[in-house]
Amino acid sequence: MMNRYIDYLKSKIEFLPWVSVIFTSAVDRKRVDEILESAVNIKTERFKRVKTGIFNNFMEQVVYKHPPTGNKKSHSPKIYY
């Protein structure tokens, strides 16, 4: 049952493949520690630094797959960092 629901959720959020699903119960105190552990991991990942070259390569791939739309006056997006 839970696997079917996980499949359903993942089909609804295909654009977020890295998201994990954790079933919990505050009443029964089940898997609350997993949520807290995930929150700590998220905080750690949130403050990670990405090197400029890696970021530029990533953005190049994104723009290649999803080029910006525009008209004659449009220009390439600029990222300030």
Q: Is 72 inside any structural domain?
A: no
E-strand ranges in 1-81 read: none
Q: Is 28 inside any structural domain?
A: yes
Q: Which domain holds residue 27?
A: 2-65
Reference 32, options 41, 43, 23, 42; nearest CA is 23
Q: Evaluate if pTM is beyond 0.85.
A: no
Q: What is the pLDDT of residue 74?
A: 67
Number of domains in the chain: 1
Q: What is the pLDDT along the chain (81 residues), one digit of tens a residue?
A: 788 999 999 999 988 888 888 999 889 989 999 999 999 999 999 999 999 999 999 988 988 888 777 666 766 667 777
Token couple for 43: 């905080």
Q: What is the pLDDT of residue 79?
A: 73
Q: Is 36 inside any structural domain?
A: yes
